[in-house]
Structures are given as structure tokens and as C-alpha cells.
Amino acid sequence: MNLWEYASLDAVGLRDLIRSGEVTAAEVEEVAREALEVANAELNALTLPLFTPALEHDADGPLAGVPFLVKDSGPFARGVPFTLGSRSIRGATAMVDHDLMTRFRAAGLVTLGQTTAPELGLSYATESRLHGATRNPWDLARGAGGSSGGSAALVAAGAVPLAHGNDGGGSIRIPAACCGLVGLKPSRGRTPPARPPARSASG
């Protein structure tokens, strides 16, 4: 599989190729890593080097082998540093998996990295003093929107077929619009409930 073939497939298409045996999950991951390195060099959409190895996941899940990214918007994955785009939080590490991360692992998603967000997620532009500005793959002179801009930019660039975001006031929908994507904010109750005041971001 080459980069062009990889970028032309959505999550279900990649899953089906892996299930059929036409490619292996390891081959898809190798191409995804290459795609992410190439895209991130222009977009500045990852907060950390790619995870090596990828985070643990269920090899029999419904999306087993599909490359995935998680937004740097809190302590999501046990043992993984997070910043929320803030220099004051830099150095913090998640102690446990978030309920969503548990579901991502069970789905078989291959989490390869963490995407940029504005400081504390409080902006419609994905820019921070810690990470700098995330650029739009359609026009590098423009931003990717926020606050899930890193995820949107890398999906739009074809580096991954899908990525995590959250949305309390447009943080999935705005980057999706800026980057020409479908961004899904699920109805309340479809994802694990958050505690107030963050409940609006979980549905």
C-alpha cells in the first residue's frame, strides 16, 4: 500500500482491506506513520512525537487496525503526557484511561498520536504559545479552526481517516467546516457522561 492508496480510503475501507487479508494492520500503520510525518511537517498538528509503539488496542474490534489520533484536551490515555495547549499544564501525565479511550481501544483503533488544541480549548483558532499555530491543509496561510483543529487538519490531509475531537460550543463543527470535513457531535447520552461543567462537550 502506498500513500495515495492509503489516503483514498476511509476507516471502513481500510478496515475491510485488513479483514480481507489484502493488507496487514502493520502495513497500514507503517503507511499512516509516514503520512503523519509528511503532513505534520507542514501543518503543525501533533503535540508529541508519534507513539512508538501505538497504544494498546483490541485486535478483534470492529475497526481493528484503523489509524487514529486523540485530541490533547485532557488526560485521555494512561501514561501519556497531556497539556491542553497550556504551558502551565505541560508535564502532566494521565493516570488512567478516560472512558472514551477505553472505547477507542475496544474498537480496535490504532492510536498513533495526539493532536493540537488551543490553550484549554478556549478558542476557535488552534493556536497556542506552547505549540504554535496549526495550519489548514487546503491553504497553509489559513488556520484549521478550533478547538479540534489538529484532528481536523490531519484528517483533511489524508493522514488518518478519523480522529477524536470534543465540542462544547463548536469545537468539532468549526474545524470540520474550515477543513471541508464532516464533524460529528453526538447526541447527549451517546458517549460516556462528563461531569458539569464539561457535560456539554460530551454530547
Q: Please give the pLDDT value at position 33.
A: 98
More confident site: 195 or 42? 42
Per-residue pLDDT band at 101 (split at 50, 70, 90): very high
Prior bond of 75 cis (ω within 30°): no
Q: Which of 73, 86, 147, 148 is catalytic?
A: 147
Active site (annotated) includes residue 71: yes
Query: What is the average per-residue pLDDT within 94-103?
Result: 93
DSSP state of 46: B
Query: What is the average per-residue pLDDT within 79-108?
Result: 94
Q: Please give the pLDDT value at position 187.
A: 84
* Beta carbons of 116 and 46 less than 8 angstroms apart: yes
* Beta carbons of 150 and 46 less than 8 angstroms apart: yes
Query: What is the average per-residue pLDDT within 100-114?
Result: 97
Average pLDDT taken over every residue of the chain: 93
Task: Please give the domain boundaries of the chain with CATH numbers for all domains.
Answer: 3-202 (3.90.1300.10)
Q: Which of 71, 86, 148, 151 is catalytic?
A: 71
Is 130's pLDDT higher than 60? yes
Is 96's pLDDT higher than 70? yes
Is 202's pLDDT higher than 80? no
Is 182's pLDDT higher than 70? yes
Q: Which of 123, 148, 171, 202 is catalytic?
A: 171
* Beta carbons of 28 and 7 less than 8 angstroms apart: no
Q: Please give the pLDDT value at position 188.
A: 79
* Beta carbons of 202 and 194 less than 8 angstroms apart: yes
Measure the CA–CA gap between 151 and 130, rounded to whole angstroms: 17
Measure the CA–CA gap between 140 and 161, rounded to whole angstroms: 20
* pLDDT tens readout for residues 149-158: 999 999 999 9
Is 64's pLDDT higher than 60? yes
Is 197's pLDDT higher than 60? no
Active site (annotated) includes residue 147: yes
Q: Write down the pTM of the prediction.
A: 0.94
Active site (annotated) includes residue 123: no
